[in-house]
A and B are shown apart, each in its own frame.
Chain A
């Protein structure tokens, strides 16, 4: 085994210190919120809760478990996340696959049409007018459709599709497969890593989204849980807010480790080309 040079050893130690710092900074807010959710409100208001609950009690949990509005929002969030992610994945995958074809006429225009929206947004009022005129206000679609194609995700997926050897698709075309069949049976199975990564990005974005709902939804029965959470921050007891935050973050905390394998390989996308 090759001996480690002193410089490399120093690098590793510095690396470990830096990454430990990152872990602490990342974990601290979450541990703090959990501790607040299990503490008595007076200790939280007094700022005495840091990493460990003070005056341990489960009152906040009991209140949240019995709050029907919270679970309605939770159900809505799940629906928006599942539906939005499914639609976004279909649209993004199809668009990215089309853009990955170098011989496509008008490809540069299609890429530009997508990239321009990444830098120049229409703005809140034009978007509101558009959604209203399309008759989407106070419907599920006003939350799901406006962010259905994220250009960053689109470009990541396009870059990945471009790395798939064209010979594989050509051999399939000789076998009589249609373009959609090639996409479904060859390109998608070879792109599991990027699909899982992008799906996770979309799911996280939809789960955390509240601003579109605030703009376009008036009916409370359609509110996502994040909107309730936002309303809670205006005057609700701090333990309830902390508790609602923990329960809201729970699904993502469960999904993230499960998709870690795909996420790691997905994050390497574009690092090596050819």
Chain B
């Protein structure tokens, strides 16, 4: 029986060539995509988030987003709210390299900054269909990938990949991602649960190139497949490499004008 065990062991441990290839191919594509979206230093943009229920009735949230890439140390994001009753309120999120996050809320009336409980990544961002994890700039880390082939999305030729999150807290079992073959931009993501049921779909369009290098979408629409609700993020006034520093994202100094 020993030789059967040995053969079985060999078969199971040694992945067939095609499986290895698909992972390697996927890794190649993802590394290129990550390389192209990183290195932006900082950017600011205006964001209008519209949350629509199944009937199409919507609620708008307007805010300014500022993001700083801290070399070797993660990222800082500042949301500055603009709607009348919360004008000037800010939420600062500091994420370090190992994914540890801290969140602070700044209230302009008292100029005070409080550290608050960090929301779980799988929670809905402000009641929308995006979770906190979805809101992070297209995040290629934290998954294992498999290449599924090429497919067209709206007449654009794309690489199709399946990915599984490496941590359990994301709320999804696996996702299917389409990246265009030309510039490796994410055009669509389908989110599935463990029973392979489609939970949500994210579509990104209106990509424009900024500062000669950075592609960013003008619109991101997340649709909840089961309830018919959707959330649209409309981005405008992108501005890259503004010379922002950690001082602009310092929880002790959020009172400075922006």
Whether A associates with B in a native complex is no
Interface residues of A (CB under 8 A from B): none
Which residues in B have some Cβ–Cβ distance to A below 8 Å? none
